[in-house]
Structure 1
């Protein structure tokens, strides 16, 4: 290799580079039969290399770095408008990235040495910044306005080019990322130049819609529209918005559709919350709960309305009983008693009715339990014909138990009522740590005096078991302290129950983790040393435990059932476990496993990640420990869903799908105005197939429902076609 390499002058060398750059632009413009050959590429690379490695004053590294930046200046001019401007922007950005990639290859020597030594922005970053400064910053306000207009058209049911919207938004996102350092730039364009304006656009759009709907529609119609809109906004994120937009978008939409109009929705004349309660519109009440649970302080007004309604109905029953007793005051006492006991029956039926609302429509929420309790406290603290509610309920119990009493019930019904009382007592004794044993004993003593020892014998035995359990626990702890070699790695508390006294509890055999097995074995040894004539059967379904979850951000104490704890401890040995592996290792029934996995992966606390991500548990699912889980509390209780949770979740999914089908049908018909049944069903299936496989029968039912609600009508000229009603 010759050491006397000829000097390349700056103007001479850059003239050669300009020829190469001009050819690159022709290639990007899709001129036919224009391409680079390897010799041309090597010549351009070598030219830059030579100009950067010449001795001073002929080292032109800095000048070439500046000229590289200027190479993009005349490439980023735009002439089109509207959606055509967006298409041109997408094409230019695509070509610009290709151009940056090629020029980075030509100027690669700068990146390797000159830029590294001077700590200058890398060539790729300079190329990105050139497009942003020379093109994007000039157009961003116009482009953002066009995008928001297109989204509003999408919201109105018009067909837009969603791929185009996504491609443009990808430019915002890419320009907010430094490609050389692989990190986000300060004030990323997506957040600063699009997201803020889009959020305000969303507020403006739904503000106008809500003001119209709140006047024109009934409460159920308004809520259905709001729910459909919120569902479509979620879909919108999946189609073309960045996932980080979802919480801000939903907050804006929910604020305008729900939070701003909560009083108007709840108190809507002839269709508000009280009317829905009076007319037993369970489905609409469920929708109301789902919607208002999304917004801050949304549920208290609903629970207050529920409480007021229950109180009014209860007070109405009370007034009827008082009036009836007053009209019969001169008649026989047993006639009056019959009226009073009829009132008790109605009150009990009323409580059962609204408890069903709390459990089903209001998803067992504590606010509604509290509202129901306080409403009945007001009613039950009133007297009827000189008798307190306590006396009336005591008389009612007496009539159930007394042979030949007023309340004629079968033996099975009486036994059922008693079993309910015993189960309630069992739950209080086992799980209410703040319960008052003295009050329980005092009540049992009175019941024993009134009804006899046989009536209270089992319940007295339950109380005795609880007292003995406390003594046993003290003895167990002393036993452990005397035998430190037996001390298990975790603390254990056990309640020994006498089989004949307590209700029957479901028990499943389960393969306990080694930590729990040692605890059980040590307690068995202790108990055999105390008594040799009693056999122990462990009821793991009633157990609970506290375990520490060591997550990335902080450790969190988890209060879980024995089943949940045993399942979580499996992940100490394996990062990922399939559903079938969990069932096999725990030796737990599939139904119980589904309930436990649902509580840990689909409920409020996502302690396990599930694949695929859905609201139901299936045998094909795979689970892994969620190391990124966190919560503002350092101690949380993970509730286990009721045994019918699987069916409930499926029902919820079907409800959600029904709303999605409604939204798709309305959107299609709004844009097409008239369609045949076959075409409408086919297009609905096509639109929804990205989310789930819709059931054809369900689509037919939703069409009929939309006709009933006057969103659609059958075409008078063609019975197999539908028309959209504005």
Structure 2
């Protein structure tokens, strides 16, 4: 044993001299074989001469001695970066020693260590370095590393390779576990990082604008991630990023986003797209980090929208709102901030939700007494009337506007109210020919896709009726041409047959028509009876338009008037003068309708009749005569707007109709829920009913309670005897 150890010591001494850079020839292959053979011979002798255990202990002793008496003193006498360099050098020497001596003692690894389940030779060498060197220097080393990283953060150059090598030592000292690295270095490093960026944040938030602060924060995060790439362990990155984000972004989020002249609201106001995108990138990586940004976005959009509503309110004259201007501005606002959501905020659901909530707030406010549903319906009406009259309109622009209208409608809670207002205005457009069939069908297709077939069924029915009416008219003309019925002489007659269920209800009257008109009606009746026996025609004269030839002394003029106006004018075909009373008896009109018609013919822009005595009001003692001297520079004139219809936007009537429909809808919803559930507590029944109906309108809780009481009285539901707050369905 002594002889063998002596030979081994000689080889170890030579190895140490080589590693320390002293003049010594390199190991030749024969020396390697000799050293291996010495160990082999000492291990393969029969007991008690088998020296495997002594060799194993000898191997550990070599490292222990060298670590204690050579490496540690050499490292401890150095300071700062020089300490790191010496530690790095000694760590490299230790790794080389382990590799060489493991080769010399390889036979132990193959047999002795395996059989005894002892730590491997490599592990013994590393453990010795850890126990006798690392454990004595890691505290000081950690301090130096953190100081160097601080210098690097302040813009100075450091040796990244050196830091990486030293930190690898921290990792490998854990022998497969990250515990040493985390406890001896990472924990302190993260604490120092938090302190550093807390100081930075306190300084930057006072000195810099929001964009400047975010640029510095983004640059800091980028550099910390690079630091991980260069020398920190990869497991440190998420913890390091979280610390930096917390100190630079999370803790100052409110202060940063609400900066007076450069916060989120100012960036949105000034269209700072790059800065907003940077804000999204920074806060997107933080759990729940986008919530304050989305909140700031929602508040800003709400404020802008409320500003538009206030402007419209201030600009409204005598209760009349410029809905074209207001809706256009709201559409532009929506386009602007939807672009922000898509581009700056990467189509994130949180910002879609914020935009929706903001628009729902101000889109449901009344303007000068008009609901948003009514304003949007009026906007559509004007858009389509203009498109129907002006054929030069760009279809793609109108299609884009239609898309925007459907988007806005999604934010309005009273969609059923919009549907009713829209239907009444649509009916008027269709009846008076101020429509474009493609545009009418386009919006209905989009509304149907968004809100379902029930929402548009009546509107689609009206459009279909107009198409069928054209075919009906063609058939009627063919019928007359074939001599099946007498053609009314000198009269062109067009009829629109409408389905009662689709159209709004209109006023009917037993107006006594001129003979020519009566003949026309009889002629169409005869034709219609050949087509169907099961439908009854009801004539609505209040919706008619007539073109009359007026033979005035200066020149003949074509008059465009309502059926009521036409009946009054035709009464003067056989006489020049008629009193109010005579007209009243002859025409069988109500006093209110006759006054309105006579006023339009004698006191308005076109005075086709002369009134005695001359005044601006109609009384029962007035008399009228045909104004043969009337003339106009145009060949056609008239104002068919004097059709004595109830106003199409009779707000009160529409609201009453919708309220009635809502009562039916609530009843149906309650019965549907109870039929499937059988027994439900009051609160759950109400909440489920609200959820079911909120797609079309926001039901009033008081109304739901009233409908529940009504259903109980009608024996659809009953209260539970033991718990009055629970309802049962009565089958």
TM (normalized to structure 2)?
0.55
Structure 1 residues 698-713: aligned runs within 5 Å: none
Which of 238, 242, 249 pairs up with 2:240? 249
CA deviation digits over 1:473-517, x for unaligned, max 9?
A: xxxxxxxxxxxxxxxxxxxxxxxxxxxxxxxxxxxxxxxxxxxxx
The separation in 2 between residues aligned to 1:281 and 1:466, in whole angstroms, is: 33
The answer to whether 1:262 aligns with 2:240 is no
SS of aligned partner of 1:14:
helix
Report deviation, 1:279. 2.6
CA contact (8 A) 1:444 1:456 kept: no
Is 1:386–2:369 an aligned residue pair? Answer: yes
Q: Distance in 2 between matches of 1:465 and 1:315?
A: 29
1:449 aligned residue (411, 423, 427): 427
Contact 1:311 1:375 in 2 (8 A): yes
CA shift for structure 1 position 122? 0.9
Q: Which of residues 342, 346, 352 in structure 2 aligns to 1:363?
A: 346
Shift of 1:62: 1.0
In the alignment, is the contact (CA less than 8 A) between 1:203 and 1:256 conserved in 2?
yes
Counterpart Cα distance in 1 of 2:297 and 2:20 = 68
3-state SS of paired residue (2:158): coil
Given that 1:400 and 1:409 are in contact with CA atoms closer than 8 Å, whether structure 2 keeps it comes out as no
Q: 1:20 to 1:311 in 2, by over 3 A?
A: same
CA contact (8 A) 1:61 1:114 kept: yes
Q: How big is the shift at 1:35?
A: 2.1
CA contact (8 A) 2:78 2:86 kept: yes
Displacement of 1:242 in angstroms is: 2.2
User: Could you tell me how far 1:119 is from its partner in structure 2?
Assistant: 0.7
Query: In the alignment, does 2:318 pair up with 1:318?
Result: no
Q: 1:460: how far off?
A: 6.2
Query: 2:178, 2:420 → 1: CA distance?
Result: 69
1:165 is aligned to: 163
Match of 1:112 among 100, 110, 113: 110
Q: Indicate how the Cα distance of structure 1 residues 463 and 230 shifts in structure 2: closer, same or farther if over 3 A, else same.
A: closer
Aligned pairs for 1:99-498 (under 5 A) are 99-177=97-175, 184=176, 186-325=177-316, 328-329=317-318, 336-337=320-321, 339-403=322-386, 411-418=392-399, 421=402, 449-452=427-430, 454=437, 455-457=439-441
SS at match of 1:402: helix
Tell whether the 8 Å contact from 2:387 to 2:393 is kept in structure 1 after alignment: no
1:453-473 per-residue CA deviation (whole Å, 9 max, x = no partner) reads 924446667899999x9xxxx
Q: Tell me, in whole angstroms, the C-alpha distance in 2 between the residues paired with 1:241 and 1:323.
A: 63
CA–CA separation in structure 1 for the residues paired with 2:165 and 2:423: 77
Distance 1:466 1:20 in 2: 87
| Partner deviation per Cα, 1:404-432 (whole Å, 9 max, x = no partner) | 99xx9884445532366379989x99xxx
**In structure 2, do the counterparts of structure 1 residues 87 and 463 end up closer, same or farther at CA, with 3 Å as the change threshold?**
closer
Distance 1:449 1:121, change over 3 A: same
Helix, strand or coil at the partner of 2:252: helix
Residue pairs, 1:508-519, within 5 angstroms: none
> How far, CA to CA, are the matches of 2:404 and 2:356 in structure 1?
20
Aligned partner of 1:31 among 22, 37, 48: 22
Structure 1 residue 83 displacement after superposition: 0.8
- Distance in 2 of aligned mates of 1:150 and 1:464: 67
Would the aligned equivalents of 2:257 and 2:263 in 1 still touch at CA under 8 Å? Answer: yes
Query: Once the 2 structures are TM-superposed, how far is the Cα of residue 257 of structure 1 from its aligned partner?
Result: 0.8
Contact map agreement 2:43 2:50 (CA 8 A) in 1:
yes
With normalisation by structure 1, the TM-score equals: 0.55
1:220–1:193 Cα change, 3 Å: same
CA distance in 1, matches of 2:306, 2:405: 27
Instruction: Provide the C-alpha distance between the structure 1 equivalents of 2:45 and 2:160, rounded to a whole number of angstroms.
Output: 52
Q: Distance in 1 between matches of 2:89 and 2:233?
A: 21
Q: Does structure 2 retain, via aligned residues, the 8 Å contact 1:175–1:188?
A: no
Q: Distance in 1 between matches of 2:379 and 2:419?
A: 22
> In the alignment, which of 67, 78, 100 is matched to residue 58 of structure 2?
67
Superimposed CA distance per residue, residues 642-689 of structure 1 (whole angstroms, 9 cap, x where no aligned partner): xxxxxxxxxxxxxxxxxxxxxxxxxxxxxxxxxxxxxxxxxxxxxxxx
What SS does the corresponding residue of 1:323 show, helix, strand or coil? helix
Equivalent position of 2:577 in the other structure? none
Q: 1:55 to 1:439 in 2, by over 3 A?
A: farther
- The residue that corresponds to 1:525 in the other structure is none
1:593 matched residue in structure 2? none
Contact 2:381 2:422 in 1 (8 A): no
Match of 2:48 among 47, 54, 57: 57
**1:16 shift after superposition:** 1.8
How far is the alpha carbon of 1:65 from its aligned partner? Answer: 0.7
Question: Does the 8 A contact of 1:447 with 1:456 survive in 2?
Answer: no
Change beyond 3 A, Cα 1:343–1:420? closer
- Aligned ranges 1:10-49 → 2 under 5 Å: 10-49=1-40
Paired with 1:424 and 1:392, the residues of 2 have a C-alpha distance of 11
Distance in 2 separating the partners of 1:133 and 1:231: 37
**2:570 alignment partner in structure 1:** none
* Partners of 1:286 and 1:361 within 8 A in 2: yes
Aligned length: 437
Q: Output the CA distance in 2 between the equivalents of 1:297 and 1:466.
A: 31
Kept in 2, the 8 Å contact 1:214–1:222? The answer is yes
Q: CA deviation at 1:188?
A: 4.3
Tell me how far apart the structure 2 counterparts of residues 35 and 444 of structure 1 sit (CA, whole Å): 99
Give the deviation of 1:448 after TM superposition. 5.5
Gapped regions of structure 1 (runs ≥ 5): 1-9, 178-183, 430-436, 470-726
Q: CA 1:167 to 1:392, structure 2 compared with 1: closer, same or farther past 3 Å?
A: same
Change (3 A) 1:447 1:457: farther
> SS at 1:384's partner residue?
coil
Distance 1:465 1:302, change over 3 A: closer
Residues 44 and 106 in structure 1, CA contact (< 8 A), matched pair in contact too: yes
Q: Mean alpha-carbon deviation: is it higher for 63-72 or for 240-249?
A: 240-249
Q: Which residue matches 1:566?
A: none
- Give the greater-gyration-radius structure (CA): 2
Match of 1:618 in 2: none
SS of residue paired to 1:271: coil
Q: Deviations over 1:279-318 (max 9, x none)?
A: 3322222211211112122111111111111111221221
CA-to-partner distance for each residue in 1:582-620, whole Å, 9 max, x for gaps?
xxxxxxxxxxxxxxxxxxxxxxxxxxxxxxxxxxxxxxx
Distance 1:464 1:232, change over 3 A: closer
Write the distance in 1 (CA, Å) between the matches of 2:405 and 2:301: 24
Q: Deviations for 1:1-40, whole angstroms, at most 9, x for unmatched residues?
A: xxxxxxxxx2232122111111110011112242223333
Residue 559 of structure 1 corresponds to which residue in structure 2?
none
